[in-house]
Amino acid sequence: MKRKFMCIMLILTFALNLSACGKSQENVNSSENGSSIDAPQSEEDNTSEKTGSESSDNNKSNPQNSDTDKNTMDVGTVNGSAFSGKVSGCYYADGNRIIVAADKLYLYDTGKSETIASADIFLNELCVQPYSDGYFIVGEENISGSTGSFATAQSSNGIKGYLLNKDFVVKNTISFRGLLNDDSVLQMASVTISQDGKQIAFGGLQGLYLYDTSSQKVHTILNYSENGRANNMEIVTMDSLAFTGDKTLTYVGMGISSNGGDGVSVYGTVSTDNASLSITQKADYEVDVEEVQKGGNLLVMPQSFNKNNGTLLMLDTASNTEKKITFSGSSEGKDGVFCSEQGKYVATSILGEASVTINIYDTASGNVIHTETVKDNNSTYFQRVPQILILDESGTCIVVLGRGISEVSTLITTFGFKG
């Protein structure tokens, strides 16, 4: 009887130990990759599937597991309850900080999971360019009663810029519509600020211009029809601009051959001093000029949707050398390509019926270093290309879904990766 009792006790002890080990392993699997923003995971989600919703407050800072990445700080998080109104986008600020557009603009620290400051700036679309003394925010001006469409903003309001200091206080406002008498600014991507904040370059329909932030005066760098020629090509538009030095601009735009023909995508450099111009045409690669991005010294030029073949052209502006990445799939890139703040990584998104898969590539090696899947029961989130930010220092990826869809709340998810 005593031996039988001991056998029963041993069996029970063994079973309890198995149960405890199973629960411990579940806890490791659910937390090692990052943080699920604002809504708990469903039971069917695995470690690479994160779900979030702007309206919930279930968003806690989740330090990254030391086995996942020993070389970076804690993974950042984005708490949707920190903002009022629907989030319409997130943008790089500096380091672990981002700028979030909702009912106003918020300066947000992803490491501390808190809002630092806000500014009453309202734009239909915008881009953020950090510089040495603060942030340059440029976008399509919004007025009461506007539909928010590109055509309405361009015809009625035009492009507007705001210079903010590091404390997120507006120091200067620039209406680009009023700077030119006989030309107009094309789009917000054709406006860029120098790193010292002293100059703003912008492209119009007829030429390229430079604005001095101190004197508030404008002068013409080049007129496309007069001196916009090089390498048997002529500039038609400069749609995306970025300073690569205080006196040098890199651009991506459209050009035509001196012999005539259709317009093609081109890129090159131009000096703000003497308008010295270079023009490079890629006959086998059509750049989507509205999706050009700059991270550190890297200029990332995604392909046009209808010409996508699973490759990505990049330009190292420091060495003026080209590089191409070949993605894992031949159609990868058509659902969005996203450059990290410092240019160390690029991400692609692959949309499914109820999920989006994100591949993160190292730009130096061209290899995939992380793959993550974000799921949600509402398939509406995956009917449009998401917005993706990658914070190099902390190894944090931020995925924003539904920002341009009025029928749903914006969904924000973060996860960590090892660089």
Tokens 């131009």 belong to which residue? 270
Contact status, residue 244 vs residue 269, Cβ threshold 8 Å:
yes
What is the dihedral sign for C-alpha 115, 118, 122, 126?
A: negative
pLDDT for the residue numbered 283: 75
Please report the beta strands in 28-87, taking only residues with DSSP state E, as ranges in sequence order.
Answer: 34-35, 49-50
User: Percent of the chain scored above 90 by pLDDT?
Assistant: 65
63 three-class SS: coil
Of 302-311, 372-381, 386-395, the range with the lowest mean pLDDT is 302-311
**Whole-number Cα distances in Å, 247 to 130, 185, 224, 243, 269:** 18, 21, 19, 8, 10
Contact present, 140 and 127 (Cβ < 8 Å): no
Q: Which range has the top average pLDDT, 31-35, 114-118, 144-148?
A: 114-118
Residue 245's pLDDT band (cuts 50, 70, 90): confident
Q: Is 41 helix (H, G, I), strand (E, B) or coil?
A: coil
pLDDT for residue 240 is more than 80: yes
Distance CA 3, CA 290 (A): 79
CB-CB contact of 384 with 399 (8 Å)? no
Handedness of CA 221, 225, 230, 233 (dihedral sign): positive
Pull the structure tokens for residue 282. 């890629």
Mean pLDDT of the chain: 82
Question: Mean pLDDT, to the nearest integer, of 333-347?
Answer: 97
Beta pairing partners, 170: 164
Answer yes or no: is pLDDT of 45 > 60: no
Distance (Å, whole) CA 281 – CA 255: 8
pTM: 0.80
Residue 274 CA, chain-centre distance (Å), reads: 32
- pLDDT the model gives residue 332: 95
Q: In terms of pLDDT, which residue wins out, 36 or 202? A: 202
Backbone conformation region of residue 404, classed left if phi is above 0, alpha if psi is from -120 to 50, else beta? alpha
Minimal CA–CA distance to 239: which of 264, 275, 213, 274?
264
Percent pLDDT > 70 in the chain is: 79
| H helix count then E strand count, the chain | 3, 30
Dihedral sign for Cα atoms in the order 178, 184, 188, 190: negative
Q: Are 409 and 378 in contact (CB under 8 A)?
A: no
- At 103, is the pLDDT very low, low, confident or very high (cuts 50, 70, 90)? very high
| 175 pLDDT higher than 80 | yes
11 vs 324, more confident = 324
* Residue 223 banded pLDDT, cuts 50, 70, 90: very high
Residue 359: its pLDDT value, please? 98
In the prediction, which pLDDT does 282 show? 81
